[in-house]
Structures are given as C-alpha cells and as structure tokens.
Amino acid sequence: MDPARPGLDGVPDPGAPSGADLAALLNRSARGDRDAFARLYDATAARVHGLVLRVVRDPAQAEEVTQETYLEVWRTASRYDADRGSALSWLLTIGHRKAVDRVRSAEAASRRETTYHQRNQAVEHDVTADAAHASLEAKRVRTALADLTEIQREAVELAYLGGYTHTEVAALLDLPVGTAKTRIRDGLIRLRDAIGVGR
C-alpha cells in the first residue's frame, strides 16, 4: 500500500475511479471477482488507511486494521447498498468502525492489566519494623506468662504453645477436663489483662 498515492489524499487524479466505478467494482467483488477487488483496493486503500491511522495513531496497528477492513469488505461486499451511500463512504465506515473497535480493545486490555497489577502488587512494608514489632510482642507475652501461676502457665503453654486439646491437657496434667479448662481460661484472662488486649 502506498499512502502517498496521488488522487487519494485530496489531490485530484484524472485516472482515479469515479464513485460509480467504485460501486461497480464493489458489486463485482461481491460476486467473487478478485481482479475487481484488487482494483477497488488500489483505488481506496490509501484513504481507508489514512482514516484508520488518524483513529488508532499507531502505524503498525493501522496496517492491521486496514487489512481487517478489506477482509470484511471482501466477505460482506454483497451487503453494500448504493441507495444508502457511496461505495467509498461504505468502505470508510467499515474502516472507522474497525479502528474504533481496536482502540476500545486496547484501552480495555490496558485497564485489565492495570487492575491486575494493582490487585496483585505486593504491599511494600518495612521488614525490620515487622521483626521489631514481633520481638516486642513476644517479649510482652513471655513477661505476661511469667506472671501466671505455675498451674495456669503450665495449662496455657500446653494448650496454646504445645497445641494440645483441653482433653489432652487434662490427661497430661492428670486433671478432670473441667479443671483443665478452668485453668486455661483463667490463665488467658490474666494474659489478656497483662498484655492489654482490647485496650
């Protein structure tokens, strides 16, 4: 394709096909005449490409959209109705629609990519601050555990540090289950008060 072809950029070309000629070429293309379609392409491609390029603003994509336009023209040439407008305006309408679709598709893809990156971007945080905070919390818990009675601390450590169930804690301490639960509950209440949870 030669976008600078004379007669298709506003400069009159005495050899350029007239509107009636373009309509005739389009009608012949609808009947499968490849030579007519080639002549139609040669006579109009620069105009269609120029319009598409103004919409998509990317030369490579404009080439693709122009090709898609002529592919659709070849497939749907039988739908052209001369009573509703010129052959050139019909071609330009298809090209414009294809170009707008391409722009919308690119914008939608860009929005999806942006949304994906925003949703999946790791939240930046200060690892050192996290480690310091965890260390302080651990120290507070150790201090609070030391303030428990021996029987409370033993029950709480087995249940929450050892991962044992209330029944297993009772068996390990040789206590009734109810007593083990009471020791664990009382120990947790004292821990909560010492650490200040909920304040």
- Per-residue pLDDT tens for 26-48? 999 999 999 999 999 999 999 99
- In this predicted model, what pLDDT tens digit does every residue of 154-171 receive, in sequence order? 888 788 777 778 888 888
How far, in Å, CA of 44 to CA of 35, rounded?
A: 14
User: For 57-72, how does the pLDDT look when each residue is reduced to its tens digit (9 = 90+)?
Assistant: 999 999 999 999 999 9
- 22 pLDDT above the threshold of 70: yes
Domain extent, residue 158, equals 127-195
> Which pTM was predicted?
0.52
Q: Are 7 and 13 in contact (CB under 8 A)?
A: yes
Residue 95 amino acid letter: G
- Number of structural domains in the chain: 2
| Domain final residue, candidates 120, 154, 176 | 120
Domain boundary among 120, 151, 176: 120
Task: Give the Cα separation of 57 and 40 in Å (integer).
Answer: 24
> 173: closest CA among 189, 192, 157?
157
CATH number of the domain where residue 48 is located: 1.10.1740.10
